[in-house]
């Protein structure tokens, strides 16, 4: 059903005359009709778009697509069905947009397969299901729907600055012509034609772009180091290993707009003088890999990669390398080893990869979002004017956890945490109360409610004991135990530590043991060994600093962050676990003291009969009691009690 509009834009030479901003305007005017058709802004038949990123498929988009195909076949409808990437509003998926000839594109939410028939029946044959409408897309080329809101007025989109994500959810990621019609590959071709590699480095330095992979290192500077290192061969690597729990920005960018990442990668490779570029992508991202593969093949066929690109004399080969399945392989020196076919273990720096990296050659590694930002920087100076003095531009965040509107959010750097969580994310659902937000996954830190008005930028978050990280933002409400959260991240790090250096391997083990002792063993009643536990918490602090200072790589150096930030902001919760042996959120099940509510209990005695440790004593006449000293918190009594008489004390 999907058609590919064959136009002049598919001819590579077409682009060579249209490289500057003025040219672009000229071209937009001259070829408006063609471009609007390729951009699907003007269509002679109905276009149906389905949000088909991994998140969309997870919500049922696959079945929605099948139902649309069936509806079209049953009704002999001529429609174009376009699978687009993640639109961003993951909480409302599956998302379906419908654009009828001459009318604005309309977006509908939660269109599971069962809703397809009623939706299409009403939209195509009369009437609109108002409750399902997210909004209409503004367009100069079609008529607006009266009395319907615009999508950019929706609270989720209103405060965002979608620049890196501008194509995600809008265009067909598998159609190179569409990317080109939206100005794609122009900045790369412009660089090839009009700028020397060092001029490209300088332009990126001037833009103030900082790496989006977590460290925030100045991108142009890194390129310049590699550019200035004389060598026969150099390599460019895109880091798409994205292993942080709670992070899905890079996956969504690749799935929704793979050519943008490739364009950034090609520009970077040209700037540093590399003729081979790798994309190191986690194997658990099959859809992103498939879309990248197609994008590379299509770009190569068009002459955008390969030998003597557009007669410039520059050659570029782009290769995909699947990740080895370890979090540490995202660390740049481990990643390099993994590409070389060795075990992914970090090595000490210096030398930095820009001096001696892949196969001992100068190598630059950049994150997916960093690379996807480049077409904006090379082609448009607006991006650099956004942000704060020290951090230019926008940042994409993966917003998840206890939040009403989870999804992919792009905001200007410097936006406050409150704006992202409450204005864009819609706050905490079901009347619960905001407690904290964790930035940057296991290497990051959390900030409490009192910091909601902090600006999201590298320096400010660091001053609050957190970090911007690569973009994971997990929101928590009062039902989250912060000691348990610290334990979760420590468990993750302990499992993912490569074991090479002792502070990380052994230190994180010791920290985990301490956290384990705080959240387990309710049998240690208040007072018992409280001093030992208190000393252990003090030791957590000491261990954290030793691990930070002596670990070999970023994994170990940042491993204690979640513990340190929870200790800093939620010390009272640690104290509850240490002294009172309680967990206010009820998360640490071992610390729950079960008791039998005599009003609800019918004295049937089933709990006493089934208790594996005979911790329930009493009889049918006098009732039953749980003996805390022998109870092992297996919750068996609670599970079998028909009268819900076994309750947390
Ligand atoms: C344990 C560990 C895992 C990492 N994982 C990633 C990752 O998945 N993606 C990424 O871009 N950077 C990751 N990094 C950071 C990279 O080492 C590197 O700094 C980054 O790719 C540089 O890109 P940028 O300058 O564009 O930010 C990780 C670092 C550590 C210590």
Residue 522 confidence (pLDDT): 59
Average pLDDT over residues 90-111: 96
CB atoms within 10 A of CB 591: 24
The structure tokens listed for 166 are 């501008």
Residue 6 confidence (pLDDT): 43
Q: pLDDT confidence of 536, banded at 50, 70, 90?
A: confident
Residue 221 has pLDDT above 50, yes or no: yes
Average pLDDT over residues 344-368: 96
Alpha carbon distance 93, 52 (integer Å): 10
Q: Whose CA is nearest to atom 28 of ligand 1?
A: 331
* Sheet arrangement for strand 47-51: 80-84, 47-51, 96-99, 106-108, 133-136
Q: pLDDT confidence of 577, banded at 50, 70, 90?
A: very high
Nearest ligand 1 atom to the CA of 330 is: 5
Higher pLDDT, 619 or 41: 619
Report pLDDT digits (tens) over 495-533: 999 999 999 999 999 999 999 989 986 555 556 678 888
Residue 13 confidence (pLDDT): 59
Per-residue DSSP letter, 93: P
CA angle 342, 343, 344 (to 5 degrees): 110
406's enclosing H/E stretch is none
**Ligand 1 centroid vs 494 CA: distance in angstroms?**
18
**Ligand 1 centroid vs 264 CA: distance in angstroms?**
17
Residue 360 has pLDDT above 60, yes or no: yes
Strand, helix or coil for residue 67: helix
**Ligand 1 centroid vs 214 CA: distance in angstroms?**
6
Average pLDDT over residues 573-580: 91
Cα 550 to its chain centre, rounded Å, is 29
Residue 23 confidence (pLDDT): 63
Residue 103 confidence (pLDDT): 93
Q: pLDDT confidence of 632, banded at 50, 70, 90?
A: confident
Range scoring the smallest mean pLDDT among 202-206, 452-456, 466-470: 466-470
Ligand 1 pocket: which of 164, 205, 211, 213 to mutate (most atoms within 8 A of CB):
213
Provide the whole-model pTM: 0.92
Q: pLDDT confidence of 443, banded at 50, 70, 90?
A: confident
Helices 286-301, 258-272: crossing angle, 10 deg rounding: 60
**Ligand 1 centroid vs 347 CA: distance in angstroms?**
14
Nearest ligand 1 atom to the CA of 496 is: 1
Higher pLDDT, 427 or 467: 427
Torsion 266-270-276-282 (CA) sign? negative
Alpha carbon distance 477, 464 (integer Å): 19
Nearest ligand 1 atom to the CA of 346 is: 31
Residue 591 has pLDDT above 90, yes or no: no
Residue 4 confidence (pLDDT): 38
Ligand 1 pocket: which of 241, 261, 367 to mutate (most atoms within 8 A of CB):
367
* Among the listed residues 516, 436, 515, the one whose alpha carbon sits nearest the alpha carbon of residue 479: 436
Report pLDDT digits (tens) over 265-293: 999 999 999 999 999 999 999 999 999 99
pLDDT more than 90, % of the chain: 77
Contact by Cβ (8 Å): 465, 559: no
Q: Ligand 1 pocket: which residues have CB below 6 Å?
A: 211-215, 217, 219, 239, 241-243, 327-328, 330-332, 365-367, 370, 470, 553-555
Residue 568 has pLDDT above 90, yes or no: yes
Average pLDDT over residues 146-162: 95
Residue 130 has pLDDT above 60, yes or no: yes
Residue 7 has pLDDT above 60, yes or no: no
Alpha carbon distance 564, 577 (integer Å): 16
Residue 477 confidence (pLDDT): 97
Residue 90 confidence (pLDDT): 95
Contact by Cβ (8 Å): 406, 518: no
Residue 3 confidence (pLDDT): 39
Residue 137 has pLDDT above 70, yes or no: yes
Residue 502 confidence (pLDDT): 95
Distant-in-sequence, close-in-space partners of 519: CB < 8 Å, separation ≥ 6: 481, 483, 484, 487, 577, 583, 588, 590, 591
What is the pLDDT of the chain when averaged over all its residues? 92
CB atoms within 10 A of CB 505: 16
Residue 309 confidence (pLDDT): 93
Q: Whose CA is nearest to atom 4 of ligand 1?
A: 330
Q: Whose CA is nearest to atom 31 of ligand 1?
A: 554
Alpha carbon distance 460, 400 (integer Å): 22
**Ligand 1 centroid vs 409 CA: distance in angstroms?**
20
* Sheet arrangement for strand 472-477: 407-412, 394-401, 472-477, 434-439, 445-448
**Ligand 1 centroid vs 83 CA: distance in angstroms?**
30
Alpha carbon distance 537, 575 (integer Å): 9
Query: What is the dihedral angle through the alpha carbons of 517, 521, 525, 529, rounded to the nearest 10 degrees?
Result: -30
Report pLDDT digits (tens) over 38-79: 888 888 899 999 999 999 999 999 999 999 999 999 999 999
Alpha carbon distance 437, 452 (integer Å): 9
**Ligand 1 centroid vs 243 CA: distance in angstroms?**
9
Ligand 1 pocket: which of 265, 330, 396, 552 to mutate (most atoms within 8 A of CB):
330
Contact by Cβ (8 Å): 132, 117: no
Residue 384 confidence (pLDDT): 85
For the chain, helix, strand, coil in percent to 5 are: 45, 15, 40
Average pLDDT over residues 547-560: 95
**Ligand 1 centroid vs 317 CA: distance in angstroms?**
23
Residue 17 confidence (pLDDT): 61
Residue 168 has pLDDT above 50, yes or no: yes
CA angle 280, 283, 285 (to 5 degrees): 100
| HEC secondary structure over 250-288 | HHHHHHHCHHHHHHHHHHHHHHHCCCEEEEEECCCCHHH
Residue 9 confidence (pLDDT): 57
Residue 21 confidence (pLDDT): 62
Contact by Cβ (8 Å): 358, 340: yes
**Ligand 1 centroid vs 332 CA: distance in angstroms?**
6
**Concatenated DSSP letters for 443-490?**
GSEEEEGGGTT-B-SHHHHHHTT---TTSEEEEEETT--HHHHHHHHH
Rg (CA), the chain: 28
Residue 141 has pLDDT above 80, yes or no: yes
């Amino acid at each position: 059903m999907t058609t590919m509009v064959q136009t002049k834009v598919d001819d590579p030479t077409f682009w060579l005359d249209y490289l500057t901003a003025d040219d672009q305007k000229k071209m937009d005017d001259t070829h408006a009709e063609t471009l609007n058709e390729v951009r699907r802004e003007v269509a002679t038949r109905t276009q149906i778009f389905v949000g088909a990123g991994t998140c969309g498929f997870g919500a049922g988009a696959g079945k929605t697509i099948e139902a649309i195909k069936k509806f079209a076949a049953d009704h002999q409808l001529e429609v174009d069905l376009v699978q687009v990437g993640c639109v961003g509003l993951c909480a409302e998926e599956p998302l379906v947009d419908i654009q009828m000839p001459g009318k604005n594109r309309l977006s509908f939410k939660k269109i599971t397969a069962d809703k397809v028939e009623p939706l299409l029946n009403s939209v195509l044959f009369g009437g609109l299901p108002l409750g399902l409408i997210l909004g209409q897309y503004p367009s100069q080329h079609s008529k607006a729907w009266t009395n319907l809101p615009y999508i950019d007025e929706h609270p989720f989109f209103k405060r965002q600055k979608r620049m890196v994500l501008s194509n995600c959810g809008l265009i067909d990621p598998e159609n190179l012509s569409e990317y080109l019609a939206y100005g794609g590959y122009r900045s790369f071709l412009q660089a090839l034609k009009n700028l020397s590699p060092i001029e490209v480095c300088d332009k990126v330095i001037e833009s103030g772009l900082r790496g989006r992979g977590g460290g925030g290192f100045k991108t142009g500077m890194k390129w310049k180091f590699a550019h200035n290192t004389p060598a026969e061969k150099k390599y460019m690597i895109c880091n798409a290993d994205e292993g942080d729990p709670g992070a899905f920005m890079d996956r969504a960018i690749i799935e929704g707009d793979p050519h943008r990442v490739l364009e950034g990668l090609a520009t970077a490779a040209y700037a540093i003088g590399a003729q081979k570029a790798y994309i190191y992508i986690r194997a658990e991202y099959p859809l992103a890999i498939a879309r990248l593969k197609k994008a590379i093949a299509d770009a190569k066929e068009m002459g955008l990669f390969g030998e003597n690109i557009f007669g410039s004399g520059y050659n570029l080969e782009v290769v995909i390398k699947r990740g080895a399945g370890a979090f540490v392989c995202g660390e740049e020196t481990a990643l390099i080893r993994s590409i070389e076919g060795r075990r992914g273990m970090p090595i000490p720096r210096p030398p930095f990869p820009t001096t001696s990296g892949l196969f001992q050659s100068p190598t630059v590694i950049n994150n997916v979002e960093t690379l996807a930002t480049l077409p904006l920087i090379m082609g448009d100076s607006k991006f650099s004017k956004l942000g704060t003095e020290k951090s230019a531009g926008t940042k994409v965040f993966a917003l998840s956890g206890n939040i009403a509107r989870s999804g992919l959010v792009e905001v200007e750097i410097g936006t406050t945490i409150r704006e992202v969580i409450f204005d864009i994310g819609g706050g905490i659902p079901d009347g619960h109360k905001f407690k904290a937000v964790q930035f940057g996954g296991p290497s990051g830190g959390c900030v409490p409610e009192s910091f909601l008005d902090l600006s999201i930028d590298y320096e400010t978050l660091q001053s609050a004991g957190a970090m911007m990280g690569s973009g994971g933002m997990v929101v928590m409400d009062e039902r989250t135990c912060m000691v348990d959260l610290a334990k979760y991240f420590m468990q993750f790090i302990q499992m993912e530590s490569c074991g090479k250096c002792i502070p990380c391997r052994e230190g994180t083990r010791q920290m985990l043991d301490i956290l384990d002792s705080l959240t387990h063993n309710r049998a240690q009643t208040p007072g018992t060994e409280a001093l030992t536990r208190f000393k252990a918490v003090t030791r957590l602090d000491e261990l954290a600093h030793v691990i930070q200072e002596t670990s070999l790589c970023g994994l170990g150096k940042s491993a204690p962050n979640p513990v340190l930030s929870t200790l800093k902001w939620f010390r009272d919760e640690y104290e509850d676990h240490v002294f009172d042996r309680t967990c206010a959120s009820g998360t640490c099940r071992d610390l729950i003291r079960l008791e039998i509510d005599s009003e609800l209990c019918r004295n049937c005695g089933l709990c006493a009969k089934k208790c594996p440790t005979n911790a329930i004593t009493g009889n049918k006449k006098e009732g039953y009691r749980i003996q805390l000293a022998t109870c092992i918190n297996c919750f068996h009594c609670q599970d079998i009690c028909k009268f819900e008489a076994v309750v947390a004390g």
